[in-house]
Each structure stands twice: as C-alpha cells, then as structure tokens.
Structure 1
Amino acid sequence: MPDHAAHPSTSVKHSLPWISGILTGIISGVVLGLFLKVIQAYTGEQVYTLLLNIDFVPGLPSTLPEFIEFSLHLLVSIVIGIFYLWWVRESGRPMLKGVLLGAVSSLLYIPLSQLSSRVPELDDVRAILYWVAGHLLFGLVLGMCGKYINTKKATPVS
C-alpha cells in the first residue's frame, strides 16, 4: 500500500495557495483602496469612487454602503492574490509578476471609466496617472508578499 503521508498526491502538492493568497489579496487590496481614497480626498479626482464603482453589475443597486463596495473590491483582490501566488509558486519571480499584475489591472480604467457618470472620464490624465500609480503600488505589495512568503517557505525550520 502506498504511504500517502510520505508521498502526497500531486493534486494536493499543486493545489491553490488559499490562505496565503487570501491574505496577500486583502493586504494588497487594502493598500490600493487606502491610497486611492487619500488621493480622492486631497485632489477631488474620483479614483476611489471608480475603484468601488458597481453601476454596471446587473442585479445590484447602483450604490451600496461603502464597506460593502470595498468588500467587493477585496473579493477581486483576493482572487488576484490566489492566482498570483499560484503563478509565482509555479515559476518564480514574485516582484516582476506582482508589478505586471498591477500594471495589467490598471487597464481596467478604460472600461470602468465608461460605465458610470460618477467616475473620471477616459481622457482625465490626472485620474489615469493616480489610477496607474495605485495599481503599480498594488503590484509592488503583491510582489513583497510573494517574496516574503517564498522566503518563509524556503527557510528551513530548526
């Protein structure tokens, strides 16, 4: 009979990094949200409103309490965090992949800015720069979490 403890199945070995991914997504999502909230408070650019915008989601009211909208944002960040850590575990390079995911996610400005009259326009250069800076920050935080998690797993326990 095979010893499952000594030889874990490949499906368990290659499972998604649930706990680490959830924490990474929450940390990165909170940093992004706070950054954009501060930017909006100081500049008036509606970038935090854009981040939480749910006008386009069928079946939901156009606005919900902020904590619910922020929770929806964190759910998206959690999915990204889980995917990100799986990707890094499979092929390394946590900082590069974190920044890449941040940069790619900043492209959401294009469709999101078209879906509501409450958010910045597609040609609002300042809003675009704040949005991209926030998402690059999001990517850097992903990368730092990925580096930390990979370092902790690589360190032998005494």
Structure 2
Amino acid sequence: MSVPAAPPTRYSNRSLPWFPGILTGMVSGVVLGFFLKTIQFYTDEKVYTLLLNIDFVPGLPPTLPEFIEFSLHLVVSVVIGIFYVWWVQRKGHPLFKGVLLGAASSLLYIPLSPLSSRVPDLYDVAAILYWIVGHLLFGIVLGLCGKYINTKKATPFS
C-alpha cells in the first residue's frame, strides 16, 4: 500500500512569502504610524516625527512631504513583515516573534534620536515610553497577522 503524496504547499521552502509579508508589514506599519501620530497630536512629543525622520539618509533632503516619509516608513515595515512571515512559517510562535520584533525595533530610538534636532531627546522618558508602547503595538499586530495567516494556512480549501 502506497502512502498518498502530500498536497503541494503554497510556498516552497526557498521562496519568500511576498503577499502575506507585504500585507502584514503594511497593516502593522500603518497601525504604528497612526498610533504615534495620535500621540504626537495630543502630547506634542515628536515621536511621529522621529518615526518619519530621514535627516540621516545621505542624498535625501532633510525633510520631504509627509506622505513620502510615511511611504519610506512603510517600506521598512514591509521588509520586516516579509522577514517575519518567513520566520513564522518555518518556526511557528507568531505572537511571541511579533512582540520580539516590535521590542527589538523599539531599540532604534537610541541611534535615531541624536541624529536630528527635530525629534525627542535621547533622555526624554515620555517619548521613550510612547515609542516603546507603539513598537510593542506594532509587534502585537505583526503577531495577530501571523496567527491569522497560520490559521488560514491550516484550513483546507473546499
């Protein structure tokens, strides 16, 4: 008696999860951006400005229109999203890994803050806390997207 072949998977082990990764990165990045924009609006802490800060990028003007700066932020979020979905598809634990990536990305406050006079000071405790909460929220949304993708992957198509 022969064993039936496993159905083909949607992604090979070598391919990147482009669509789910892009979608996950976009959703997570938009949530982070709107959260920090709301915080900056109500508290005047320049955490959204820090998120969009491009002062340190050689060859770019120090400021661009907000939609372009936000688009650059989303490009970074999409790269993280693709890596995240790829990682979760191989090793599982979507919520843990999402929060881990959110926490790790919050560490960017340390090198980014001193690079511009338009952003919060390196020792601005309120800004640091908002930044960390925002990035943990980013990680939670990554985790929820990853959990949803894993649930949908496990459900057979009719």
**Structure 1 unaligned blocks of 5 or more:** 1-5
Aligned residue in 2 for 1:156: 156
The CA deviation string for residues 50-78 of structure 1, in whole angstroms up to 9 with x for no partner, is 00000000000000000000000000000
* Aligned-residue offset at 1:7: 9.0
Aligned residue in 2 for 1:69: 69
Aligned residue in 1 for 2:133: 133
The CA deviation string for residues 38-96 of structure 1, in whole angstroms up to 9 with x for no partner, is 00000000000000000000000000000000000000000000000000001000000
Aligned residue in 1 for 2:47: 47
In percent, how many aligned pairs have the same letter? 77
Find the residue that maps to 1:67 and give its secondary structure. helix
Q: State the aligned residue count.
A: 152
Distance 2:104 2:154 in 1: 29
Q: Residue type matched to 1:62 in 2?
A: P
Distance 1:69 1:85 in 2: 24
Distance 2:29 2:44 in 1: 21
Q: RMSD value over aligned CA atoms?
A: 1.6
Find the residue that maps to 1:16 and give its secondary structure. coil
* Aligned-residue offset at 1:13: 3.7
Aligned residue in 2 for 1:29: 29
Aligned residue in 2 for 1:3: none
| Residues 1:123 and 2:123 are matched in the alignment | yes
When normalised by structure 2's length, the TM-score is 0.93
Find the residue that maps to 2:84 and give its secondary structure. helix
**Structure 2 unaligned blocks of 5 or more:** 1-5
When normalised by structure 1's length, the TM-score is 0.93
